Amino acid sequence: MFENYSFLARYWSLFVKGVETTIELAVISIVFGLILGIILALMKRAKNWVIAILAKMYIGFIRDTPLLVQIYIVYIGLPIVTGMDIPDFMTGVVALTFYSAAYIAEIIRSGIESLPTGQSEAALSLGMSKRKVMTDIILPQAFKNILPALGNQFIGNVKDSSLVSVLGIADLMFAAQTVRGSTALGLQPMIVAALLYLVITWLLNIILSHIERRLKSSDRVA
């Protein structure tokens, strides 16, 4: 059985590079997705109906269409819009950012709306601006409440990043496909990739659980 996995000695560095690229894609896209998600969440709650509808249309389109289709749209459309030759890695980051932002926006919106409205009203009555209330009072509390959901979205980004391998980005999935083509092995490289994805998500779950416990303990102390 183990001789079927002898290819690992030769191609292990390729898998490691794939893991690094996968994590890099997930981290960058979740950071920018969080920024765009906050903007979209606030737009959706805006009193200006035009802004609110634009946010709803964007979120609806992203959530109701396959990520693979969105990747191809970004891959073909981004160079047309910018007039520049965009690197494949950047295309993957942009596609994953747009995708994750829609889901993060809904997570943040639900977190904001779960807080008592009396807090905002009290802060406004004390003379605080709406922007100050949102940045200093509402969002910090909302983020504590939605941290598990954000963590799940981050883990989802790690798994969803496997689709950008269609662009030739050397992520973990691309590494597995490369090994398959070089060795004529069908199943074994995919099993290795699956196990590596499992390790990544397992470690992320441990880290996120630790952060949640720390936040809960700090709340009890406070």
Compute the average pLDDT of residues 43-63: 94
Q: Is the dihedral of CA 81, 164, 40, 200 positive or negative?
A: negative
Q: Is the pLDDT of residue 4 over 80?
A: no
> Nearest Cα to 133, choosing from 110, 147, 117?
117
What architecture does CATH give domain 2-221?
Answer: Orthogonal Bundle (1.10)
- Which is more confidently placed, 124 or 205? 205
Helix (H, G, I), strand (E, B) or coil at 17: helix
pLDDT band at residue 129 under the 50/70/90 scheme: confident
| Cβ-proximal residues to 63 (8 Å cutoff; 6+ apart), any chain | 102, 103, 106
> How many whole angstroms separate alpha carbon 72 and alpha carbon 77?
8
> What residue ranges do the domains of the chain occupy?
2-221
> How many whole angstroms separate alpha carbon 23 and alpha carbon 29?
10
What pTM value is reported for the model? 0.86
The CA-to-CA distance between both ends of the chain, in Å, stands at 56
- Which residue bears the tokens 């200093």? 136
Tokens of 60: 């609806």
